[in-house]
Amino acid sequence: MANNRGRSFFLTLLFHLLTISASFVQISSLGFGINYGQIANNLPSPSRVVLLIKSMNVTRIKLYDADPNVLLAFSNSNVQFVVGLGNEYLANMTDPSKAQSWIQQHLQPYLSQTKITCITVGNEVFNTNDTQLIMNLLPAMQSVHGALVNLGLDQQVTVTTAHSFNILSNSYPPSSGSFRQDLLQYIQPLLAFHSQFNSPFLINAYPFFAYKDNPSEVSLSYVLFEPNPGSIDPNTNLNYDNMLYAQIDAVYAAIKMLGHTDIEVRISETGWPSKGDTNEIGASPENAATYNGNLLKRIEQKQGTPANPSVPIDIYVFALFNENLKPGPASERNYGLYYPDGTPVYNIGLQGFLPEMVIASSSNGSAVNFLACIITCFISAWELLRL
C-alpha cells in the first residue's frame, strides 16, 4: 500500500514537473532568427527539430543549403526560411539557365507549403581570397535574381550574400567604418544590386573574436552587453554600450561612404561559444549565456543601434546546435544553444527543457520507453530513500 502511494505521488510529481517545464517554453515571443547549421553526424531529425523550434517560439530559420528534408518538415509551419547556395555553386550560378533550374528543383517544389523569403548566394566569399569566386559572386546573385523574376518569385524571395565582418578595414569609431580598399571594386556594384532590388546587406559579426584576440584591452562587459560606461563616437557624439551595435553602425558608415543610405544592414550570424581551446579566452558557458541572453532581451525590446535607433536590429543567432564535425578550433563546434539531444547548453530564459526533444532523442525515438525509464528512476530513488 505505502509503496503504491509512493508511486502515485511520484507519478503526480513527474506530471507536474513536465507540465511546469512545458509552460516555461511559452514565455517568449521572440523576434530573433536562428542559424540551423548541420555540420554534424548526431543531430535530431528535422521533424524533431520542428518541435524544438516551435517550443522556442522561433519563427525565422537560416539554412546554409536548401535541405529538402528540412523544408518539407516545416511544411505548413509559420517559420520563414533563408536558404543558402554554398560557395561551391557560384561558378554554375553565373549561368542563368543553371540558376533557373536550381530554383525550379530546390525552391519551387516547397514554396507552396514552406515560407522561403531569401536566398544567400555564397557565404563570406570575400574572406576566401579566391579571386575567381569573388568575381563570380555578383553575376551569380544577378542570375539567381533574374531566374526569380522569370518565375514570378522575385517579390517573395530576395537575393543576398553574407559577409564576414573583416571585409571592413576600419570599424572604430563606428562613424569611420570603411571597407577594405582591395574589395571596393566588388562591393560598389554589389551595393548597387542591393539598392536596386531592395535586398539587405548581411554581415556575420562576432564580438567574441575581438575579445579573444585582445582580452586585456577589450572590455568584457562591453562585448557581453553588460552595464558599462560605453564608448563615445567623437564624430557623432553617440554613445555605444556594446560592440555589436558599434559593428553594425560601422557597416552602415562604410556603405554610406560608398554613397548609399538606402540599404538595410542585418546580422546573418552572431553568437558566442560555450567552450574553446585554452587559447580562446572568453569561450565559456557563462559568457555565452550572458551574450545570447542579453542579446535576446534587446531584440525583444526592438532596439535599434545608436545611429539607426528606429530600425530594430535584425539578427540570426549562431547557432541552434553544437556541430561536432565543424573543422577549426574547439569554439567552432560549441556555438550551439542546444546539444544535439535537445538539452540546452546553458539557460538563457528560453527555458530549454523540451520534453518532446528529450523524448525524441532517446535511442529509438520511443516516448514510451523514455517515460518508463524516467518513472523507473523516480521510483527507484523513492525506494532507495525509504530504506
Ligand X SMILES: *[C@@H]1O[C@H](CO)[C@@H](O)[C@H](O)[C@H]1NC(C)=O
Tell me which of 4, 76, 129, 237 binds ligand X, using CB under 6 A: 129
Residue 240, SS3? strand
With contacts defined by CB under 6 A, name the span among 21-29, 225-233, 287-295, 376-384 that binds ligand X. 21-29
Please give the torsion angle defined by the CA atoms of residues 186, 192, 193 and 196, in that order, rounded to the nearest 10 degrees: 180
Catalytic residue of the set 217, 226, 269, 332: 269
The residue count for binding ligand X (CB under 6 A) is: 11
Tell whether residue 369 is a contact of ligand X (CB under 6 A): no
Q: Does residue 77 interact with ligand X by CB under 6 A?
A: no
- Report, in Å, the least distance between residue 133 CB and ligand X: 11
Q: Counting beta carbons within 10 angstroms of the beta carbon of residue 270, is it exposed (0 to 12), middle (13 to 18) or buried (19 or more)?
A: buried
For the segment 79-108, give every residue that binds ligand X (CB under 6 A): 88-89, 92
Candidates 7-15, 115-123, 124-132, 311-319 — which segment interacts with ligand X by CB under 6 A? 124-132
Helices and strands, counts by H and E, the chain: 14, 12
Closest approach of ligand X to the CB of residue 214, in Å: 17
User: CB-hemisphere CA count at 13 Å for 79?
Assistant: 30
**Cα 386 → chain centroid:** 48
Q: Work out how close the CB of 122 gets to ligand X at its nearest, in angstroms, rounded to a whole number.
A: 12
Q: Considering the complex, state which of residue 91 and residue 379 has its C-beta at the smaller distance from ligand X.
A: 91
Q: Do 85 and 102 contact (CB within 8 A), yes or no?
A: yes
Per-residue contact flags (x/-) with ligand X for residues 31 to 50, judged by CB under 6 A:
--------------------
Site for ligand X in 245-274 (CB under 6 A): none
Catalytic residue chosen out of the listed positions 124, 226, 286, 323:
124
Residue 103 or 263 having the CB closest to ligand X: 103
What is the nearest approach in angstroms of ligand X to the Cβ of residue 91? 7
- If the CB atoms of residues 261 and 364 are measured against ligand X, the closer one turns out to be 364
Q: What is the DSSP letter of 344?
A: B
The single residue listed with the C-alpha cell 545570447 is 292
- The type of residue at 153 is L
Q: Is 26 in the site for ligand X (CB under 6 A)?
A: yes
57 lies in the binding site for ligand X (CB under 6 A): yes
Which residue bears the cell 517560439? 57
Q: x/- site string to ligand X, residues 270 to 309, per CB under 6 A?
A: ----------------------------------------
List all residues 6 or more positions away from 371 whose beta carbon is below 8 Å from its beta carbon: 359
| Interface region with ligand X, contact rule CB under 6 A, candidates 127-135, 199-207, 219-227, 315-323 | 127-135
Task: Check if 269 is active-site.
Answer: yes
When asked if residue 128 is in the footprint of ligand X (CB under 6 A), the reply is yes
Q: Which is nearer to ligand X, 26 or 235 (CB)?
A: 26
For residue 189, how many C-alpha atoms fall within 13 Å in the half-sphere facing its CB?
10
Is 26 exposed, middle or buried (CB count within 10 Å of its CB: 0-12, 13-18, 19+)? exposed
Assign residue 40 a region (left: φ > 0; alpha: ψ between -120 and 50; beta: otherwise). Answer: beta
Direct distance between the N- and C-terminal alpha carbons of the chain, in angstroms, rounded to an integer:
16
Q: Does 362 bind ligand X (CB under 6 A)?
A: no
Report the SS3 class of residue 95: coil
Contact 212, 280 (CB under 8 A): yes
Q: Which residue numbers are catalytic? A: 124, 269
Provide the binding-site residues for ligand X, judged by CB under 6 A.
Answer: 26, 28-29, 57, 88-89, 92, 127-129, 364
